[in-house]
Amino acid sequence: MDIAEVARRSGIAASALRYYERRGLIASVGPAGTRRRFAPGVLDQLALVALGQAAGLSLDEIQSMLSPRGGPNINRQLLAAKADEIDTQVRQLRAMSRGLRHAAACPAPSHAQCPTFQKLLKAAAAGALDQRRRDDDRHSPSQPRDIQAGLPLRPRQGGKR
């Protein structure tokens, strides 16, 4: 199937498909210099890439779990670590949800006077700082961010690092 058909069926731009090919996530089967053609199994490979990205894996991590033929070569330790990270995020989001619900229904005349809301603010500030430190550690200059078609996957909001 040619690149236009893969793009249409997968919903992924042709430029991203070419980028994935350069990164070694997928491989074309046609001769060099001709319009890119892919085996039908490329759609399954792209589904694995999408699943990995949805789980928060970098393209390098995803690529490490694809065999040379494109099938999965699962790193169970990496997946368990990612699942732990997601569980932590879920706990943090649940705590944030409870805090927001409290703030919405709080009988205090001002949120500044509410001890529960003040705890929420402190927790949010600490969490934001911890997340920024983790991001900075993960994306140090020796480990550039993954990019898709030349754009950052997760652009940083706000100011400089």
| Confidence (pLDDT) at 99 | 81
| pLDDT given at position 136 | 60
- Residue 21 near residue 35 (C-beta atoms within 8 A): no
Cα–Cα distance, 70 to 136 (Å, whole number) = 31
Task: Say what the pLDDT of residue 53 is.
Answer: 94
Tokens 């480990």, located at residue: 143
pTM for this predicted structure = 0.62
CATH of 3-64, one of 1.10.1660.10, 3.40.50.10490, 3.40.50.620, 1.10.3720.10: 1.10.1660.10
Phi, psi of 152, rounded to the nearest 5 degrees: -60, 140
Span between the terminal Cα atoms of the chain, in Å: 43
- In whole angstroms, give the CA distance from residue 99 to residue 96: 5
Six token digits for residue 60: 């390098």
**Encoding tokens for residue 152?**
């950052």
The single-letter code of the amino acid at 155 is: P
d(CA 155, CA 150): 12
pLDDT (tens place) for every residue of the chain, 161 residues total: 999 999 999 999 999 999 999 998 998 887 777 788 999 889 999 999 999 999 999 999 999 888 767 667 889 999 999 999 999 999 988 988 888 888 888 888 888 888 888 887 887 787 765 665 666 655 444 433 333 333 333 433 444 43
pLDDT for position 156: 38
Q: Please enumerate in sequence order all residues whose Cβ is within 8 A of that of 38, keeping only pairs 6 or more positions apart, or say none.
A: 1, 2, 3, 6, 26, 27, 28, 29
